[in-house]
């Protein structure tokens, strides 16, 4: 329901729905995938409200949570979400490529991923976009770790 509200432009309602879902995740057992999608939803809502810093933090939390998943799909979703708020377009294309590499194919059917890709293609030359995207496909999980920034640095330091 949060996705439907967000995609229709009702970010206030989306935020309420995602926050309620997050509370339910804490009170009940939910899969890692469900938790990751709620965190990404909160991040996408923050981004739609012009709060890129908040969005990055939600996406980083999603990437950390995704590490506990048996599936690479959650890492792919986190990489694609991080791409949407990356400050450098080349970095964003690398993250989209990482998502595609983890997933096995680009997620062009996802309206958020399609919008991110379209925005990046408008900002980068075709050659620059393709080179960065392909670099991400090769990097895959390493690109997600790098994209997480401080959260990744803390994990490496603790490991």
DSSP assignments along 56-124, one per residue:
HHHHHHHHHHHTT-SSSHHHHHHHHHHHHH-SSHHHHHHHHHHHHHHHTS--TTSHHHHHHHHHHHHHS
Distance, in Å, from the CA atom of 59 to the CA atom of 103, rounded to the nearest integer, reads 17
Q: Give the relative orientation of helices 126-139 and 111-123 as an angle to the nearest 10 degrees.
A: 130
Which of 68, 67, 70 is CA-nearest to residue 79? 67
Q: Are residues 133 and 96 in contact, defined by beta-carbon separation less than 8 angstroms?
A: yes
Structure tokens belonging to residue 72: 């690479």
Range of the domain at 96: 2-158
pLDDT in tens, 103-159: 888 898 999 999 999 999 999 999 999 999 999 998 865 555 555 554 444 343 333
Distance, in Å, from the CA atom of 124 to the CA atom of 119, rounded to the nearest integer, reads 9
pLDDT in tens, 135-146: 999 886 555 555
Q: How many CB atoms lie within 10 A of CB 146?
A: 16
pTM of the model: 0.80
Which of 91, 80, 86 is CA-nearest to residue 40? 80
Q: What is the CATH number of the domain that holds 14?
A: 1.25.40
- Give me the pLDDT at residue 158, please: 37
pLDDT in tens, 22-40: 888 776 778 889 999 999 9
Q: Are residues 151 and 117 in contact, defined by beta-carbon separation less than 8 angstroms?
A: no
Number of structural domains, the chain?
Answer: 1
């Amino acid at each position: 329901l949060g996705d439907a509200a967000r995609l229709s432009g009702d970010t206030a309602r989306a935020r309420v729905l995602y926050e309620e879902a997050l509370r339910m995740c804490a009170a009940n057992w939910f899969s890692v995938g469900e938790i990751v999608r709620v965190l990404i939803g909160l991040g996408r809502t923050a981004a739609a409200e012009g709060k890129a810093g908040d969005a990055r933090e939600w996406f980083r939390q999603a990437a950390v949570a995704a590490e506990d998943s048996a599936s690479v799909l959650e890492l792919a979703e986190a990489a694609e979400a991080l791409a949407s708020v990356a400050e450098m377009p080349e970095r964003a294309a690398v993250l989209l490529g990482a998502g595609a590499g983890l997933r096995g194919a680009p997620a062009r059917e996802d309206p958020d991923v399609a919008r991110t890709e379209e925005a990046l293609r408008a900002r980068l030359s075709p050659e620059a976009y393709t080179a960065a995207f392909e670099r991400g496909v090769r990097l895959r999980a390493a690109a997600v770790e790098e994209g997480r920034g401080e959260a990744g640095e803390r994990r490496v330091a603790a490991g």
